[in-house]
Amino acid sequence: MSWTLLFTDRYNHRAARFLRRHPDLRQSYRKTLLLLQANPHHPSLRLHALKGRLSGLHSVSINIGYRITLEVLIEGQRLIPIDIGSHDSVYRG
């Protein structure tokens, strides 16, 4: 069973801005979203729970320097992307 990605307007705005700044990451971003839908636990995504101020959220990797933070709702297998950006920008909350 695949997972459902639920995109908010806020996230869509952030993602559009991110992709304008990093057009070279468009394919990696797309691959990340497809893997999330198929299997969020795929090893290349490096899914992990966050701590501290971001407790309750998870993070996946687009590549070594860029991440997507998301809320994982196990019931109904839904994923809600929250933020996208560099390691430092998404983890500062």
pLDDT at residue 27, as a whole number: 97
Q: Report CA-CA distances (Å) from 43 to 19, 47, 79.
A: 24, 8, 17
Q: What are phi and psi of 51, to 5 degrees?
A: -125, 175
How is the chain split into domains, by residue range?
4-91
Class in CATH terms, 4-91: alpha beta
pLDDT 10s digits, 21-55: 999 999 999 999 999 999 999 999 999 999 999 99
pTM for this one? Answer: 0.90
Tokens of 22: 């990093």
Cβ pair 84, 5 in contact under 8 A: no
